[in-house]
């Protein structure tokens, strides 16, 4: 930033402090961030459509089908080049990287995240990567919110709120569903839903959706009109759809995690690129509906028009009976998850929101078709309604955001005729999936490391605490061969502490000696040469591992051992001590800060 710009910013900040209250500024900032997030969403979508338009132009129209095999690999290769030579920094998955920034980086997101997804996500999706744009859009908006907050020198709590506002703005702009966008920010980013947070979220969501209307008019991603109303006789089938959706959600999550772990074992990004890109290309060539986000397929399912879907393959299979159609649709659900996972594994940038809607719509349609065809119950279901509600079921299961699922689909349908079915399916799918998959796709890795922000205030406070700020290192260390006289003259006399760590010549922790251990003999000079540290030291009830133990684990160690001081080991060496009093004081300060 130039000197002149710094001067202007400084003058503005001074003026802000003098004339605008914090509450007013947060509201103004939320509206601005909503606008920025909306513009980011528009830019991402238009760049992707531009790439897709080029690939479908007259220049390569005649060989377009043959090039299905190579397009995804080309896109992934371009993404790799952009990451390596343009961005030159790691581009994390959108929403997980945002969650990590909130939980461990005090809401500070790297500046390159404001534009890195804008360059990489359209290349991934535009060339056929089987992922969505929602995650990168949210990450772009969140990075804009974070860096705007840094520029304005706001505190961590306000910065986190503005990140949530940006996420709400991004979702509002994508789906034109402002209420669902607010709930999404609350559910996924674990924001506290109070009047303090509600107004900024609302303002960001409104400005973002207005931005979307300005650029796209009335055009929406999902086209659906309710033609068949909800009937009480359908309740049993919606309950069964909830179970069916949960089964698909569990399959989706487990396959996603397993393929992700498989790619992490690859040594070298070029190997991941080649294997993932070629595998994805083969899959897309054999099953063209897997190409890109898949919203055209979703819209066909919502219209009940599945013939273009099941006939769009190189085998030209004619769907002349129910079993073939069902098998082809089940194949789409099965392989969409694999295609999405391959895209990520090969280095693509995108999100799982669109694949979730894709699998959800087909899952609901398959369920209704099977019931209608079997005629066991003698009941005809609306396949389009079940397709729409199926999307909510998969969102509630895979993303573990049932309220977002309910309100998003309700807003997209233009009414609340399906509200009861949405509630039934979403709640059942969420509860069953949650039992088998504790954390959603966004949060799983962070949860394993104890770095996930949740609605549990106690856990959040512990996670946000910095272990380095509670470790004390000003202790005089003792060696096993030292005598009592050396302890008294070189340690006790020179330290205000009442306990002394015993370490080896290689600084390995061996035990501890406290003042109470030597109080009865410390003035007996006859024992000064006879008593050794090795004879006087004792073990400790537990040890804190700097590299592995989270603050929650540390707090539990103090609780179970009833100790007032515990040693800290770092890289296998003695590092310092943590006292219970210092830990509780730091906890109280952080609690006040977080809940302010």
377 is in which domain, residue-wise? 232-454
Q: What is the CATH number of the domain that holds 111?
A: 1.10.3080.10
Q: What pTM does this model have?
A: 0.78
- Spatial neighbors of 309 by CB under 8 A, at least 6 apart, are 289, 297, 300, 301, 328, 329, 332
What is the pLDDT, as a whole number, of residue 148? Answer: 83
Is position 189 within any domain?
A: yes
Rg (CA), the chain: 29
What is the pLDDT, as a whole number, of residue 98? Answer: 78
Is position 222 within any domain?
A: no
Is 310 found in the same domain as 416? yes
Q: Judge whether 455 and 400 are in contact, CB under 8 Å.
A: no
What is the pLDDT, as a whole number, of residue 251? Answer: 94
Q: Judge whether 266 and 277 are in contact, CB under 8 Å.
A: no
Beta-bridge mates of residue 478:
502
Is 511 found in the same domain as 418? no
Distance CA 237, CA 282 (A): 37
Is 372 found in the same domain as 294? yes
SS3 category, 148: helix
What is the pLDDT, as a whole number, of residue 269? Answer: 77
Is 269 found in the same domain as 251? yes
Buried b (16+ CB within 10 A) or exposed e, 317-333: eebeeeeebbebbebbb
Is 367 found in the same domain as 446? yes
Is 119 found in the same domain as 250? no
14: Cα separation from own chain's centroid: 36
Distance CA 267, CA 92 (A): 18
The two structure tokens encoding residue 193 = 């839903």
Is 130 found in the same domain as 93? yes
Is 156 found in the same domain as 135? yes
Q: Judge whether 538 and 517 are in contact, CB under 8 Å.
A: yes
- Spatial neighbors of 435 by CB under 8 A, at least 6 apart, are none
Q: Which residue has the tokens 């006289």?
A: 485
Q: Judge whether 156 and 130 are in contact, CB under 8 Å.
A: no
Distance CA 509, CA 256 (A): 42
What is the pLDDT, as a whole number, of residue 307? Answer: 82
Q: Judge whether 345 and 336 are in contact, CB under 8 Å.
A: no
Distance CA 142, CA 99 (A): 10
Domain edge (last residue) among 216, 242, 262: 216
Number of domains in the chain: 3
DSSP annotation string for 560-589 = HH--SEEEEEETTEEEEEEEHHHHHHHHHH
Q: What is the enclosing helix (H) or strand (E) of 196? A: helix 195-216
Distance CA 40, CA 34 (A): 10
The two structure tokens encoding residue 374 = 């079997």
Is position 225 within any domain?
A: no
Is 396 found in the same domain as 529? no
Is position 415 within any domain?
A: yes
DSSP annotation string for 459-519 = HHHHHHS-GGGTEE-----B-TT-BHHHHHHHTGGG-S-SEEEEE-TT--EEEEEEHHHHT
Is 485 found in the same domain as 437? no
Is position 106 within any domain?
A: yes
What is the pLDDT, as a whole number, of residue 252? Answer: 93
In this structure, the strands spanning 499-503 and 565-570 are: unpaired
Domain edge (last residue) among 163, 190, 216: 216
Is 467 found in the same domain as 437? no
Averages of pLDDT over each 10 residues, the chain, 596 residues:
71 73 83 90 89 70 61 89 85 74 76 86 89 87 85 79 88 88 83 75 91 81 75 89 95 91 82 88 86 86 84 69 85 92 88 91 92 80 90 92 89 77 94 89 64 57 75 86 85 82 88 84 81 85 86 85 87 88 81 62
Domain edge (last residue) among 216, 246, 271: 216
What is the pLDDT, as a whole number, of residue 456? Answer: 55
Q: What is the dihedral of CA 61, 64, 65, 67, to 10 degrees?
A: 160
Is position 275 within any domain?
A: yes
Is position 224 within any domain?
A: no
DSSP code of residue 478: B
What is the pLDDT, as a whole number, of residue 392? Answer: 93
Is position 558 within any domain?
A: yes
Q: Which residue has the tokens 């000197």?
A: 3
Is 468 found in the same domain as 441? no
Helix, strand, coil share (%) of the chain residues, nearest 5: 65, 5, 30
Q: At what angle do helices 580-594 and 156-175 cross, to 10 degrees?
A: 50
């Amino acid at each position: 930033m130039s000197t002149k710009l710094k001067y202007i910013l400084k003058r503005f900040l001074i003026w802000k402090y003098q004339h605008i209250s914090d509450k007013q500024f947060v509201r103004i900032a939320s509206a601005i961030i909503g606008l920025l997030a909306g513009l980011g969403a528009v830019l991402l979508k238009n760049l992707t459509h531009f790439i897709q338009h080029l690939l479908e132009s007259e220049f390569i129209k005649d060989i377009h089908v043959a090039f299905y095999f190579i397009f995804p690999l080309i896109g992934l290769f371009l993404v790799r080049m952009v990451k390596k030579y343009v961005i030159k920094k790691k581009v994390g998955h959108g929403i997980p990287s945002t969650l990590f920034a909130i939980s461990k980086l005090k809401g500070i997101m790297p500046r390159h995240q404001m534009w890195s997804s804008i360059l990489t996500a359209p290349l991934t999706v535009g060339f056929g990567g089987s992922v969505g744009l929602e995650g990168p859009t949210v990450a772009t908006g969140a990075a804009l919110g974070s860096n705007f907050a840094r520029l304005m020198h706001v505190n961590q709590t306000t910065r986190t709120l503005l990140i949530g506002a940006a996420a709400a703005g991004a979702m509002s702009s994508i789906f034109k569903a402002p209420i669902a966008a607010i709930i999404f920010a609350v559910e996924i980013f674990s924001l506290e839903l109070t009047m303090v947070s509600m107004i900024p979220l609302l303002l960001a969501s409104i400005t973002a959706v207005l931005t979307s209307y300005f650029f796209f008019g009335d055009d929406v991603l999902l086209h659906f009109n309710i033609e068949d109303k909800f009937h009480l006789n359908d309740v049993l089938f919606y309950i069964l759809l909830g179970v069916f959706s949960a089964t698909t959600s569990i399959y989706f999550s487990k396959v996603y995690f397993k393929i992700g772990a498989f790619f992490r074992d690859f040594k070298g990004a070029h190997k991941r690129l080649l294997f993932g890109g070629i595998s994805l290309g083969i899959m897309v060539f054999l099953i063209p509906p897997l190409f890109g986000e898949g919203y055209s397929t979703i819209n066909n399912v919502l219209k009940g028009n599945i013939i273009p879907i099941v006939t769009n393959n190189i085998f030209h299979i004619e769907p002349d009976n129910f079993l073939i159609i069902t098998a082809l649709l089940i194949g789409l659900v099965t392989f969409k998850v694999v295609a999405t996972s391959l895209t990520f594994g090969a280095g693509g940038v995108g999100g799982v929101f669109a694949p979730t809607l894709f699998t959800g719509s087909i899952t609901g349609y398959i369920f209704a078709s099977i019931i209608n065809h079997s005629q066991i119950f003698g009941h005809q279901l609306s396949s389009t309604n079940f397709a729409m509600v199926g999307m909510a079921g998969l969102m509630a299961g895979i993303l573990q955001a049932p309220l977002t699922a309910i309100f998003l689909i309700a807003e997209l349908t233009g009414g609340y005729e399906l509200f009861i079915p949405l509630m039934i399916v979403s709640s059942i799918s969420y509860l069953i999936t949650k039992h088998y998959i504790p954390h959603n796709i966004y949060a799983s890795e962070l949860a394993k490391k104890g770095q996930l922000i949740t609605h549990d205030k106690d856990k959040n406070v512990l996670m946000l605490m910095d272990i380095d700020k509670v470790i004390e290192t000003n202790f005089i260390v003792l060696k096993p061969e030292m005598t009592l006289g050396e302890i008294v003259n070189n340690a006790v006399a020179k330290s205000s502490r009442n306990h002394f760590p015993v370490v080896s010549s290689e600084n390995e922790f061996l035990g501890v000696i406290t003042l109470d251990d030597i109080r009865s003999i410390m003035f007996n000079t006859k024992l000064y040469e006879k008593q050794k540290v090795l004879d006087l030291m004792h073990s400790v009830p537990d040890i804190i591992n700097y590299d592995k133990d989270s603050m929650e684990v540390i707090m539990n160690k103090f609780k179970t051992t009833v100790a007032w001081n515990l040693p800290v080991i770092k890289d296998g060496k003695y590092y310092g001590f943590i006292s219970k009093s210092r830990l509780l004081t730091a906890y109280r300060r952080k609690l006040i800060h977080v809940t302010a």
